[in-house]
Amino acid sequence: MSTDLNDDHEAAQRLEVTPNAHRCRVIHHGVTYADTHAALTLAETGQESVHYFPRADVNMVRLERSIHTSHCPIKGQATH
């Protein structure tokens, strides 16, 4: 999926979401937080690529909700 946006204040912004062909894991101090073969990679103009894990492949018990939030005019509001 790709999205091109034209804004009066910005150059065209491109988002591209693609399946990640590799196994992706998050391990911290020997504890596995996530392990998947079904990650998606988001490439956005001017940003580093970000990998998204299916919730079913994340050890949600190990995570805590953060008070950190962000807003993107393209992707919307996020809580981390």
pLDDT in tens, 20-45: 999 999 999 999 999 999 999 999 99
Q: What is the CA radius of gyration of the chain?
A: 15
Cut 0.85: pTM above it? no
Domain ranges for the chain, please list them.
2-79
Provide the pLDDT confidence category of residue 8 given band limits of 50, 70 and 90: very low
What would the two tokens of residue 6 be? Answer: 């034209």
Residue pair 10/17 in contact by the 8 Å Cβ criterion? no
Correct CATH for 2-79 of 3.40.225.10, 1.20.1250.20, 2.170.150.40, 3.40.50.1220 = 2.170.150.40
List 61's β-bridge partners, or say none. Answer: none
The identity of residue 1, as a single letter, is M
